[in-house]
C-alpha cells in the first residue's frame, strides 16, 4: 500500500468510513479526485487533493456560502495538511442531467447567483482582475495551443501585443463582488427538497475570488460544454438585470468581455489538458468555444482583442489543432 493510500485509509477509519463502499466519481480537469462513500455515518464524498492542491480554500468558501444561505457541500471532516476532506454528498441531480424545464433551472441558477453576489465578499479572497486574469489566458494559448496548431513556438512579438489588448479590454470591468469563476450547469445541483435559493447546490467553488459580477453570468450562459439557446441566454440576462438593478448596456458589455477572456483561456487549457495531462475528452468542446469567442469579439468592448486575433489568429485557424485527437 502506498503512503498516500495508507493516509487515506487512516483518515477514513478515524471518521467511521473505514468499511464504507467506495465508488470513484468522474475526475474533473484538476488533480483532485472524488470517491462516493456509502455505509458510513452519513452520505459523504471523499475529496482527495494531494499537495500542491490546497483544500483550505474549499473549506473557507464552503463556510462563506453556507453563511449566505446557499447550498454548498458541508465539510464533515478535514485533514487540510494532507489534502483530504469528507464532504456532504448532494446526490446526482446535476443540472445537466435534470429533466426539468431548462428555463426554470436557469431562473433558479440566476437567483442563487444574485444571492451569492449580494452577500459581501470576504476580504481574504484573492483578486480576479486585470492583473491576475492575463496570464491564465495568454500562457495556455501561446504555450500549448499555438505549438500544437502551427508546429513551433509562438512568435515573440505576439505575447506583448496580446497582453496589451487583454489589459485594455479588461480594465473596463467593474470589480468588487464575489465571483465563483466556474458557475455553469455542470457545477450546479438540483435539490428540490430544500427551499428558495437553497434548491441550487453549488460545487467546485474553491477558486472563488473578488472580481466582476458579470463573469459568472458569462460562465452560465456561454457554457463551454453545452449549447445554451439564445432565448434562454436573453432570459437569464433579463432576470439578472432585474434582480441586480444593473445598467443594461454596461452589463452586456461586461458579459462580452468576460466571455471573450474565458473562451480564449479555455481554448488553450483544453489543448494543454490533452497534450500535457492525457485528457483529450475536452477537445470535442473546442468548436463551440471558438464559435462563442467569435460571437463575443463582435461586441465593441472586445475590439482590442478582436484586432490582435484578426492579425495573428485569423478565423480559419480558430479551431482545435489539426490532428489532435479527441477521446
CA distance 128 to 105: 27
Host H or E run for residue 32 = none
C-alpha grid cell, residue 165: 489588448
CA distance 139 to 314: 19
Collect all residues with Cβ–Cβ distance below 8 Å to 321 and sequence separation of at least 6. 145, 148, 149, 271
CA distance 178 to 256: 19
Query: What pLDDT is stored for residue 72 in this prediction?
Result: 98
Query: What pLDDT is stored for residue 1 in this prediction?
Result: 60
Extended strands (E) in 165-314? 177-179, 188-190, 200-202, 209-211
Query: What pLDDT is stored for residue 2 in this prediction?
Result: 75
- What does the pLDDT look like over 32-87, one tens digit per residue? 899 999 999 999 999 999 988 899 999 999 999 999 999 999 999 999 999 999 99
List the domains of the chain with CATH numbers: 3-88 (3.30.200.20), 95-317 (3.90.1200.10)
Query: What pLDDT is stored for residue 323 in this prediction?
Result: 84
Q: What is the pTM of this model?
A: 0.93
H helix intervals, 171-244? 214-221, 230-244
Extended strands (E) in the chain? 21-24, 33-38, 44-48, 75-79, 84-88, 177-179, 188-190, 200-202, 209-211
Q: Which residues of the chain have pLDDT under 50?
A: none
Position of cell 467511521?
Answer: 16
Amino acid at each position: 500500500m502506498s503512503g498516500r493510500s495508507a493516509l487515506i485509509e487512516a483518515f477514513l477509519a478515524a471518521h467511521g468510513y473505514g468499511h464504507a463502499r467506495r465508488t470513484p466519481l468522474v475526475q474533473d480537469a484538476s488533480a483532485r479526485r472524488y470517491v462516493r462513500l456509502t455505509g458510513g455515518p452519513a452520505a459523504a464524498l471523499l475529496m482527495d487533493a494531494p499537495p500542491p492542491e490546497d483544500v483550505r480554500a474549499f473549506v473557507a468558501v464552503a463556510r462563506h456560502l453556507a453563511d449566505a444561505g446557499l447550498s454548498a457541500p458541508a465539510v464533515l471532516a478535514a485533514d487540510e495538511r494532507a489534502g483530504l476532506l469528507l464532504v456532504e454528498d448532494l446526490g446526482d441531480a446535476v443540472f445537466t442531467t435534470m429533466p426539468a424545464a431548462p428555463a426554470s433551472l436557469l431562473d433558479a441558477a440566476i437567483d442563487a447567483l444574485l444571492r451569492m453576489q449580494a452577500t459581501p465578499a470576504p476580504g481574504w479572497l484573492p483578486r480576479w482582475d486585470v492583473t491576475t486574469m492575463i496570464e491564465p489566458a495568454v500562457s495556455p494559448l501561446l504555450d500549448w495551443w499555438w505549438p500544437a496548431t502551427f508546429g513551433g513556438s509562438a512568435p515573440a512579438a505576439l505575447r506583448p501585443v496580446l497582453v496589451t489588448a487583454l489589459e485594455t479590454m479588461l480594465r473596463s470591468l467593474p470589480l468588487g463582488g464575489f465571483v465563483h469563476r466556474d458557475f455553469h450547469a455542470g457545477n450546479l445541483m438540483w435539490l428540490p427538497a430544500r427551499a428558495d435559493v437553497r434548491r441550487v447546490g453549488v460545487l467546485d467553488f474553491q477558486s472563488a475570488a473578488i472580481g466582476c459580477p458579470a463573469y459568472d453570468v458569462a460562465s452560465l450562459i456561454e457554457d463551454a460544454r453545452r449549447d445554451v439557446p439564445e432565448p434562454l441566454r436573453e432570459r437569464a440576462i433579463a432576470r439578472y438585470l432585474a434582480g441586480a438593478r444593473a445598467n443594461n448596456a454596461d452589463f452586456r458589455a461586461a458579459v462580452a468581455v468576460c466571455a471573450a477572456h474565458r473562451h480564449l483561456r479555455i481554448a488553450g487549457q483544453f489543448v494543454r489538458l490533452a497534450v500535457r495531462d492525457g485528457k483529450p475528452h475536452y477537445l470535442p468542446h473546442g468548436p463551440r468555444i471558438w464559435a462563442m469567442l467569435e460571437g463575443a469579439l463582435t461586441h465593441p468592448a472586445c475590439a482590442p482583442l478582436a484586432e490582435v486575433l484578426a492579425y495573428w489568429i485569423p478565423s480559419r485557424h480558430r479551431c482545435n489543432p489539426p490532428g489532435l485527437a479527441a477521446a
